[in-house]
Structure 1
């Protein structure tokens, strides 16, 4: 596996984000159900991205953006279904945390959803704890917000 640092303009990252969106549409019951979240997942505000490659093919990604001076918000974590359950998602999260720490952040936060059981499980195994919903997710009952000190 090769892990490349890039940014939100990366075309492989864009393609993987499209796959993530399609997968989310299936899990949560279509684009309409997910539409309230789209505005918070735009790539133009994401500058720190990792894309994972296997034999030159992009198979996973993750990113973070500044939430405030102490908190980096993890965004767009995705692993191709063929490569799940081997720790790749956790590896991406750890690498993102390391990058965030170097940039001076003390915490990583994230938002996931109740229907995303596999994601919730992975984040919990990575040491993330449920916190009160923050910011734009405060009034979204299907959101689950999590945090971890880095």
Structure 2
């Protein structure tokens, strides 16, 4: 097992606890960070066999990975029925039936409710339909 002790650094741990969001040292065992804390405590935990690397006050940040999620689409996806792992038509049908039974009204933000709200906003005189027909005729050259 390879143990490496990085010390004398400013290490951002990304801890939600503000008292533990920064450390002076970290211990890495076989590629995995296993300890963060003070330089003194890390030497005690790492033991004499650990390779010690003095970072001379340098900054250490966690590896940032951009998962490139689009926040609104990600939130929208959470409200959808998960069908990706379904392997049969019967399983898909069962999941859809279960989701419908759990929310028979479609919920206030469901696609059904959204479509109904959009339809309710259409002008009663049918202006949208006429405008669309005129545009299609213009584009087709008639």
Which TM bucket (shorter chain)? under 0.3
| Higher share of residues assigned strand | 1
Structure with larger Rg: 2
TM-score between both structures, scaled by the size of structure 1: 0.21
TM-score between both structures, scaled by the size of structure 2: 0.22
